[in-house]
Amino acid sequence: MSMLLVSRISPFVEAAKQLLLELEQHAGASLDTLDRGNGTEFLAAVEKRDAILEELSRVTEALAHERAHFGGGSHEERREVQALMSKLSNAANGAMSSHQRLIERATETRDRLGSAAKKADQPDAVATQYAATTPGIRQSLLSVTG
């Protein structure tokens, strides 16, 4: 029996799995940069993730094209394709989990920093109260000539 479809899509499945694994690993590295508070490194990590996602998009388009071009194949071939797709799906689930953790942490960090920025713009209640109850500060002058 011909396994033409399997042989045609296998390289694309392997490439997609590798890119998904890279995304998953990269999410961990991105979380580390976020934890260190280095905005420049985090933006570079996001750009790298975008590049990986673009490559993954090209690979999945090629995979879809091959599947459409060669059809379903024999029963045995369909089972083999299903097994490949299942492995790809597992890799995608791992990448999506790590991506979700990254989104959650980035959102928490954004909200925390936004709250701190808003708080910094508001007058400090204790300092305002202290300034209101403290009599005018006397200026003392120091004479250089005596």
139 falls within a domain: no
> What pLDDT was estimated at residue 39?
80
Domain membership flag for residue 33:
yes
Instruction: Tell whether 140 is covered by a domain.
Output: no
Highest mean pLDDT among 6-10, 69-73, 128-132: 6-10
**Domain range spanning residue 66?**
4-118
Please give the structure tokens belonging to residue 12: 């694309």
pLDDT of residue 69: 76
Q: What are the pLDDT digits (tens) for 87-113?
A: 999 999 999 999 999 999 989 988 988
User: Which tokens go with 61?
Assistant: 């388009």
* Number of compact structural domains in the chain: 1
Question: Which amino acid is located at 63 in the chain?
Answer: L
Of 140, 90, 110, whose CA–CA distance to 42 is shortest?
110
How much is the pLDDT for 1?
Answer: 39
In a domain, 45, yes or no: yes
Q: Is residue 146 part of a domain?
A: no
Answer whether residue 136 is part of any domain: no
Report the C-alpha gap between 110 and 95 in whole angstroms: 22
Q: When comparing pLDDT for 55 and 6, which is higher?
A: 55
Residue 129 lies in a domain: no
- pLDDT 10s digits, 74-87: 788 888 888 999 99
Q: What is the pLDDT of residues 30-59, one digit of tens each?
A: 888 888 887 888 888 889 999 999 999 999
